[in-house]
Amino acid sequence: MRRKDKEIRDRTEIEEILQEARVCRIGLCDGSVPYCVPMSYCYRDGVIYLHSATEGRKLDILRRNNIVCFEVDTGVELIMSERPCKWSMRYRSVIGTGRAYFVDDLEGKREALRCIVRHYSSESGDHDFTDEELRSVVVIRIEIEEMSGKRSE
């Protein structure tokens, strides 16, 4: 990281950002073309779980190349100054890389979707998904290999 003064090294704070953020953007490589997509997610125990439809470009890419990067951010606020060239942003973010795998077993999907429900609502996440509901979605598990945090205040 170029700006060491903005680096977040505390793992607890990095995980706090992962818990607070609402959108996880994943970056994929479609041959020589980058592809980035915002997704619903949750973070638990060093893993990011993503909810997806059952078909689409992102899934096609992941089947060929499961190396991904991800980004989340929170507390984003524009800090204006007299001159636009002096404007700044306040934020906390996490960027990382890992490998994506499809969660195929129904119980694994159920637990991942419960985690996602907890991330976005005050519900306990104990929702009982039917097997039909579980078969109608794709759950992607990103096993994080490295990540770093950054803050600008």
Where do the domains of the chain lie? 4-146
pLDDT at 1: 58
Residues 30 and 58: their CA atoms lie apart, in Å, by: 9
Burial profile 87-108: b = 16 or more Cβ within 10 angstroms, e = fewer: eeeebbbbbbebebeebeeeee
Query: Among 6-15, 66-75, 83-92, 130-139, whose mean pLDDT is lowest?
Result: 83-92
Residues 50 and 91: their CA atoms lie apart, in Å, by: 23
pLDDT at 122: 74
CB 94 within 8 A of CB 148: yes
The verdict on domain 4-146 having CATH code 2.30.110.10 is: yes
pTM exceeds 0.75: yes
Task: Please give the structure tokens belonging to residue 125.
Answer: 């996440």
Chain segment 57-102, per-residue pLDDT in tens: 999 999 999 999 999 999 988 888 888 887 878 899 999 999 999 9
**Which residue is associated with the tokens 């992962």?**
18
CA distances from 29 to 39, 51, 62, 124, 133 (A): 16, 19, 9, 36, 30
CA 86 from centre of chain: 30
